A and B are shown apart, each in its own frame.
Chain A
Amino acid sequence: GDSVTQMEGPVTLSEEAFLTINCTYTATGYPSLFWYVQYPGEGLQLLLKATKADDKGSNKGFEATYRKETTSFHLEKGSVQVSDSAVYFCVIANTGNQFYFGTGTSLTVIP
């Protein structure tokens, strides 16, 4: 079945460090790919998305590129801030419009 494998956490970085969170997926057809973020005490919200191969999603300095050849959608940010501390989920939506989540990666950014 469709599934997502996401880098385990927790991850702790110093402010202004480079962030990469790895994500790979298994799906039939051509899924849409998403990163969702959950800030402390808040609900899940969309961070960025890509709906076809080679698309790059970006938002708030975060980027991820839909790589069909490696079935990956790694999340990157060049310089993290304390306010980026949150749990990040890699998500796929298959052709049946079902959304499957990775296990989540907790990020803590220290000043």
Chain B
Amino acid sequence: EAGVAQSPRYKIIEKRQSVAFWCNPISGHATLYWYQQILGQGPKLLIQFQNNGVVDDSQLPKDRFSAERLKGVDSTLKIQPAKLEDSAVYLCASNPRGNTEAFFGQGTRLTVV
């Protein structure tokens, strides 16, 4: 079974530029998550989708971050404009249903300079 696919693996941008990350979850997984992991910290939930609807985006900085999951399959996360403090690993995860584990992609390491 293919895992959660993310791209790109690495991205370096200057502050105030924009960037987008892509995620393709495991086939059939209804729930998709985006997490931000700052160096030395645990992953922090940014947004949760159930199919193509948003379940929770309470921790998403909506003035600069946006995410969508068209057709309930793959998803993109965008940052515009980026700040230095956005430097982190952005993880995508998917989950087939409640009471099961979430499966994580390898992540995209973003460096804002």
Contacts and interface: CB of A to CB of B under 8 A. Distances in A.
A21 to B, nearest CB: 13
Interface stretch (A12-20, A64-72, A73-81, A89-97): A89-97
Greatest chain A CB density within 10 A among B33, B35, B104 is at: B104
B91 A104 contact: no
Contacts of A49: 101
A62 interface: no
A46 B91 contact: no
Contacts of A111: none
Interface size band for A: 20 to 34
B45 A100 contact: yes
Interface in B10-30: none
A4 B91 CA distance: 19
A96 B99 contact: no
A25 B14 CA distance: 38
Contacts of A39: none
Given A32-B99, A49-B101, A98-B56, A43 B106 contact: yes
A43 B41 contact: no
B44 interface: yes
Contact of A99 (B40, B93, B105): B93
B73 interface: no
B6 to A, nearest CB: 9
A82 to B, nearest CB: 23
Nearest to B56: A98
18 contacts: A6-B42, A32-B99, A36-B104, A43-B91, A43-B105, A46-B101, A49-B101, A89-B43, A93-B98, A93-B99, A93-B102, A96-B56, A97-B97, A99-B45, A99-B95, A99-B102, A101-B44, A103-B40
Greatest chain B CB density within 10 A among A32, A44, A45, A103 is at: A44
